[in-house]
Amino acid sequence: MSKKIKGLVEKELNKRLSTTEGVGVINPRGVDGIKNNGIRRRLRAQGLRMVVVKNTLARRATADSKIKGFESLLDGPSALIYGKTTVSALARLMLDEQKKDEKLEIRGLFFDGELYSGKAGIEQASKLPTREEAIANILSAILGPGRKLAAALKGPGGTLGAVLKSIEEKAEKAGGTEAPVEAAPVA
């Protein structure tokens, strides 16, 4: 590849990866063209892209981006998976792809300054909550004490109401048709 072409590829790669906050790295060796296209199609359905790059071009293209620091995952043939998604969603997707094809080697995941290396790191990242799950957990933690307070205030009133209703029912059964005593109007 000539220097001019390498420069163009580096520019394009920099443009693509400048907006992303995380990247997954796999080894595409041993994956034939049909499986490769299937992987790309499933990734595209999730809003992700996959690109096979030379390691030196990837290092140069990401030298001044948010994902600087993932270079330790680049060893041998590398394919980068990137896009607008959460770390757990990307990790789960990578694990699903490996389940479909055992030849696919997962190198790791880099997201928001943290490196998840190897399959163990990917599994750890897949257990992290998604953005929506984290928001739900925070809201339930905030609303939990309010629910307990409301239940504590409502509980004794409900018990008192049930006792009064049972007394009223017993009085109706015992007395029969007696009219209830009305309170005098307050002026």
Domain count, the chain: 2
Same domain? 75 vs 164:
no
Same domain? 94 vs 117:
yes
Identify the pLDDT of residue 182.
61
Beta bridge pairs of residue 24: 81, 109
Give 154's pLDDT tier (boundaries 50, 70, 90).
confident
Angle at which helices 87-100 and 33-45 pack, to 10 degrees? 150
**pLDDT over threshold 70, residue 183:** no
Q: Indicate whether 58 belongs to any domain.
A: yes
Q: Indicate whether 178 belongs to any domain.
A: no
CATH number at residue 38: 3.30.70.1730
Same domain? 112 vs 133:
no
Q: Indicate whether 84 belongs to any domain.
A: yes
Structural domain including 167 reads 129-172
Q: pLDDT tens, 113-139? A: 788 888 888 888 888 877 788 888 888
Q: Indicate whether 180 belongs to any domain.
A: no
Tell me the average pLDDT across 20-36: 83
Q: What predicted TM-score, i.e. pTM, was given to this entire model?
A: 0.66
Q: What is the mean pLDDT of the chain?
A: 81
- Give, in order, the Cα–Cα distances in Å from 64 to each of 17, 28, 67, 70, 180: 11, 26, 8, 12, 84
Identify the pLDDT of residue 187.
54
Same domain? 67 vs 107:
yes
Distance CA 36, CA 14 (A): 23
Same domain? 47 vs 70:
yes
Same domain? 167 vs 149:
yes
In the three-class reduction of DSSP (H, G, I as helix; E, B as strand; rest coil), residue 141 is classed as helix
Distance CA 106, CA 33 (A): 18
